[in-house]
Amino acid sequence: MSLKTIAVFIDPSAVGEARAAYAVKLALHHGSHLIGIFVVPMGWDGNPSESFVRGKAAIRQLVERHAAVESAATNAASQSFSAVSTREDISFEFRFLRHGEANEGAALNALHSDLVIVGGPQLGGLPREWSAETLLLATGVPFLLLPERWTGPAAEHVIVAWNASREARRAVADALPLLVGARSVTILVVDPQKNSRHGEEPGADVALYLSRHGAKVVVERVQSNGGQVADAILGFAKRHNSDLIVVGAYSHARTTEMIFGGVTRCLLRDTTVPLLISH
């Protein structure tokens, strides 16, 4: 697998431009086509006074005014994305989703991408009713959540949070192009003694698998010491200046509300490092 198509949800803000710039870095490194997706904010802001507008001419003017607001926002997003993307020699395009088609459009665009980049922990450019988790559940496409204040490199020193589960193995497969292209990859095993699936040398088998693909891999085993596993992962990432954490979303429950296990939910809430999640 290679990253031929990367989609990034953008907005014409400083945070949105930083997200687009990060996506450009990845696209350049992997020779990917980059798609910038902008969810057009609804021009109708619910101003109570507008409900009192009467007459065809007044209503037409009101509709035109809101359409102009939406058009201006779309143009600003397009210009912002183009300005960031043209700094490098990459293939890119801009798409926009209007209110009413945003949910279906977000899923459809994600379905035809190898990786989707969103912001966090808030909307991150997604439709108002959606979250990155919703997008993953609807499409199965891995997403990379970029913290708002992230200014570091793109996937140079990567941690794979490994628990020998199906979901972790899927995350490794989905992130393989990033892992092979990274300067270093750490297979991080937390509390290995608590999981018999690790075998005699926890992390060694998946490290060998990745090294055969050309990744530069080491294995680290750490203890949570009774604390949260997510805290152990984030603490390790901070101490070692890691710039990407790869994790498989996991839970014993299979309902939409509970599909992400406690570790994943804590990482989504607390991470200050880019997070690639697969399921």
Same domain as 131, residue 19: yes
Same domain as 162, residue 111: no
Range of the domain at 125: 5-43+71-147
pLDDT (tens digit, 9 = 90+) per residue, 60-76?
A: 665 566 677 788 889 99
Q: Tell me: pLDDT of 88 over 90.
A: yes
Amino acid (one-letter) located at 161: A
Question: Alpha-carbon distance 276 to 246, whole Å?
Answer: 5
Same domain as 165, residue 264: yes
Same domain as 170, residue 107: no
Same domain as 241, residue 180: yes
Same domain as 163, residue 119: no
Residue whose structure tokens are 């803000």: 13
Q: Tell me: pLDDT of 4 over 80.
A: yes
Q: Tell me: pLDDT of 259 over 60.
A: no
Q: Which pLDDT belongs to residue 250?
A: 64
Higher pLDDT, 113 or 99: 113
Same domain as 139, residue 176: no
Question: Alpha-carbon distance 27 to 21, whole Å?
Answer: 10
- What are 93's strand-pairing partners? 35
